Structure 1
Amino acid sequence: MTAITVDTLRDTCLPIYIGGEYMASAGAPIDSYDPATGEVWCQVPDCTDAEVDAAVKAANAAMNNPAWRDMTQSQRGLLMLKLADLLDAHVERLAEVETKDNGKLLREMRALSQALPVALRYFAGMADKIEGTTIPVNKPDMLNFTVREPLGVVAVIIPWNSPLYMMMRALAPCLACGNAVVVKPSEHASAGAVAFAGLMKEAGFPDGVFNVVTGLGHTAGNALISHTGVNKIDFTGGPATGKVIAKGAAEQLTPAALELGGKSPHVVCDDADLDAAANGVVAGIFAAAGQTCVAGSRCFIQESVYDEVVAKIIAKARAINIGDPGRDDVQLGPLALWSQVEKVEDFTQSALGEGATLAFGGGRPKGLGDGWFVEPTIFTDVTNDMRIAREEIFGPVLAILKFRDEDDLLEMANDSDFALASGIWTQNMNRALRFMRRIEAGMVWINTYRSPSVMSPSGGHKDSGYGKHNGFAAIEEFSRIKTVVIDYSGAQQDAFVMRVNK
Structure 2
Amino acid sequence: MGQIIPWNFPLLMAAWKLAPALAAGCTVVLKAAEQTPMTALRLAELFQEAGFPPGVVNILTGFGETAGAAIAAHPDVDKVAFTGSTEVGKLIVQAASGNLKKVSLELGGKSPAVILADADLDIAIPGAANGIFFNHSQACCAGSRLFAHKSVYDRVVSGIADIAGKIKVGPGLDPATEMDPLVSEEQFARVTGYIENGRQSGAHIAVGGNRVGNLGYFVAPTVMDRTTPDMRVVQEEIFGPVLCAQPFGDDDLEAIAKQANDTIYGLAASVWTRNGSVAHKLARRIRSGTVWINCHNVFDASLPFGGYKQSGWGREMGEEVFHNYTEVKAVTAAL
TM-score (norm 1): 0.65
Match of 1:303 among 150, 158, 161: 150
Segments of 5+ residues of structure 1 without an aligned counterpart are 1-153, 489-502
- Matched residue type, 2:12: Y
8 Å CA contact 2:3–2:29 kept in 1: the answer is yes
Q: Within 2, Cα distance between the matches of 1:461 and 1:308? A: 32
Aligned to 1:451: 298
Are 1:172 and 2:19 counterparts? Answer: yes
What do residues 308-333 of structure 1 show as CA deviations (whole Å, max 9, x unaligned)?
11111111111111112123332100
Q: Within 1, Cα distance between the matches of 2:17 and 2:233? A: 31
8 Å CA contact 2:305–2:315 kept in 1: the answer is yes
Q: Within 2, Cα distance between the matches of 1:233 and 1:394? A: 24
Match of 2:39 among 192, 215, 222: 192
- Matched residue type, 1:372: Y
8 Å CA contact 1:265–1:298 kept in 2: the answer is yes
Q: Which segment drifts farther, 386-395 or 312-321?
A: 312-321
What do residues 462-496 of structure 1 show as CA deviations (whole Å, max 9, x unaligned)?
110111110111112211111122222xxxxxxxx
Q: Within 1, Cα distance between the matches of 2:205 and 2:215? A: 25
Aligned to 1:376: 221
Match of 2:248 among 393, 403, 415: 403
Q: Within 2, Cα distance between the matches of 1:314 and 1:226? A: 46
Q: For residue 192 of structure 1, report the CA deviation from its aligned partner.
A: 1.1
8 Å CA contact 2:75–2:98 kept in 1: the answer is no
- Matched residue type, 1:170: K
8 Å CA contact 1:423–1:447 kept in 2: the answer is yes
What do you get for the CA RMSD once the two structures are aligned?
1.1
The 4+ residue runs of structure 1 with deviation greater than 4 A are none
Q: Within 1, Cα distance between the matches of 2:14 and 2:93? A: 19
- Matched residue type, 1:388: V
8 Å CA contact 1:197–1:210 kept in 2: the answer is yes
Q: For residue 202 of structure 1, report the CA deviation from its aligned partner.
A: 1.0
Aligned to 2:190: 343
8 Å CA contact 2:72–2:96 kept in 1: the answer is yes
- Matched residue type, 2:148: I
Aligned to 1:254: 101
Q: For residue 259 of structure 1, report the CA deviation from its aligned partner.
A: 0.8
Q: For residue 207 of structure 1, report the CA deviation from its aligned partner.
A: 0.6
- Matched residue type, 1:441: S
Match of 1:467 among 307, 314, 319: 314
Secondary structure at the aligned position of 1:372 is classed as: coil
Aligned to 1:358: 205
Are 1:332 and 2:179 counterparts? Answer: yes
Q: For residue 461 of structure 1, report the CA deviation from its aligned partner.
A: 1.8
Q: How does 1:206-355 map to 2 (within 5 A)?
A: 206-355=53-202
Q: Which segment drifts farther, 233-242 or 348-357?
A: 348-357
Secondary structure at the aligned position of 2:196 is classed as: helix
Q: State how many pairs are aligned.
A: 333
8 Å CA contact 1:257–1:466 kept in 2: the answer is yes
Q: Within 2, Cα distance between the matches of 1:175 and 1:485? A: 28
Q: Which segment drifts farther, 395-404 or 215-224?
A: 215-224
Q: How does 1:408-423 map to 2 (within 5 A)?
A: 408-423=255-270
What do residues 220-259 of structure 1 show as CA deviations (whole Å, max 9, x unaligned)?
1122211111110000011111100011012221110001
Q: For residue 434 of structure 1, report the CA deviation from its aligned partner.
A: 1.0
Q: Within 2, Cα distance between the matches of 1:243 and 1:420? A: 16
- Matched residue type, 2:293: I
- Percent identical pairs in the alignment equals 42
Q: Within 2, Cα distance between the matches of 1:380 and 1:467? A: 34
Q: How does 1:57-76 map to 2 (within 5 A)?
A: none
Q: For residue 272 of structure 1, report the CA deviation from its aligned partner.
A: 0.9
Secondary structure at the aligned position of 2:2 is classed as: strand
8 Å CA contact 1:275–1:312 kept in 2: the answer is no
Q: Within 1, Cα distance between the matches of 2:30 and 2:322? A: 18
- Matched residue type, 1:349: E
Q: For residue 190 of structure 1, report the CA deviation from its aligned partner.
A: 1.1
Q: How does 1:61-210 map to 2 (within 5 A)?
A: 154-210=1-57
8 Å CA contact 2:112–2:269 kept in 1: the answer is yes
Q: For residue 343 of structure 1, report the CA deviation from its aligned partner.
A: 1.1
- Matched residue type, 2:260: A
Q: Within 2, Cα distance between the matches of 1:268 and 1:244? A: 36
Q: Within 2, Cα distance between the matches of 1:165 and 1:487? A: 48
Q: Within 1, Cα distance between the matches of 2:76 and 2:205? A: 51
Q: Within 1, Cα distance between the matches of 2:283 and 2:271? A: 9
Q: How does 1:476-495 map to 2 (within 5 A)?
A: 476-488=323-335
Secondary structure at the aligned position of 2:244 is classed as: strand
Q: Within 2, Cα distance between the matches of 1:327 and 1:477? A: 40
8 Å CA contact 1:158–1:166 kept in 2: the answer is yes
Secondary structure at the aligned position of 1:304 is classed as: coil
Aligned to 2:237: 392
Are 1:424 and 2:271 counterparts? Answer: yes
8 Å CA contact 1:158–1:184 kept in 2: the answer is yes
